[in-house]
Structure 1
Amino acid sequence: MPARSAKAPERFGLDRLATPIGTVLLVTDADGALCALDWDDYDHRMRELLRLHHGAVDLVDRPAPTLMKTALSAYFEGDLDQLLTIEWRIAGTPFQQKVWTALAKIPAGTTMSYGALAARIEMPKAIRAVGHANGSNPISVVLPCHRLIGANGSLVKYGGGLERKRWLLRHEGVEI
């Protein structure tokens, strides 16, 4: 009987970018599309999300596309619409994809409750599931999970920490 071979790990590039609130890790695929963005102090969580979405992964040091890094730097310098120029490609369940696509449509400078996002995707009772999908978002900042807040207007969970969430919202003109 022939030996079964395991699927080879999917290979991604890993780069870093300094920002005013910490270093971000940029994970890109072979085509240069962003597949993950997380904070260097949450490297373990990022790797776990990649594993959950892609199976075995191999991260190799490789520069992210210059346009991507320029767009992210411009965002942190105040040109908020630059996030819209970043090409991204992520794996997830159809429900996660629906939530993440809806996240991308929340304009800079605005917030939305989890319930409002659930209603927007025409699943008003899926508030907790929206929260779970939001927490599994592999592309923090670019898919602006920081723009989701509690129904009462309060800051709630953010994978990069509430201080970063507060900074991002203030940077975009939202006072919380």
Structure 2
Amino acid sequence: KAINEKLIYQTITGREELLPNASTSAQNWKYTTLKPPYDWINADFKDTAWNIGKAGFGSGTPPNSFINTEWNTSDIWLRKDFKLGKVIPADLDNLSFQIYYDEDYEIYINGILVMSAKGHSSNYVTIPLNVVAQKALKPNGVNTIAVHCRQTSGGQFIDVGLFKVNYSPDSRWFTK
């Protein structure tokens, strides 16, 4: 209900990139193509031996993709620490992932599986954070996002971003 009221009574006035993806500002991520230990999703996992590369990761010619780091194996595991900046707990309902995936993916925040999908997209898709993802985030601390992507055929690509939608009251819905 709360999100419906936002859509009805407020106007989107912009968005704030919290974790930019390659379509706006490619960020460095830690990555490996060798299967890591089971605890690779945890914030305290030591990823110092992992490679560093700019998002997006892929190969071939996925449409509308921004490949900055070559990935041509069946699996890739990514990690990145980030902060939410000025986001307060009340803003968590306004957060969305922007993901381009080819093929299956899993996203973890601070060690908790918050989203996964099979198949692929042919462009960036926006997915509002679910309650599990919102609860996993630390608004005033360092967060760790961990992503696993598996490719079985064709071109491949993975890129994940996080943003906050900014709203303002829409005066057309209020009486004076």
- With structure 2 as the length reference, what TM-score do the two structures score? 0.26
Structure of greater relative contact order (alpha carbons < 8 Å, 6+ residues apart): 2
- Structure with more strand by fraction: 2
When normalised by structure 1's length, the TM-score is 0.26
More helix by share: 1
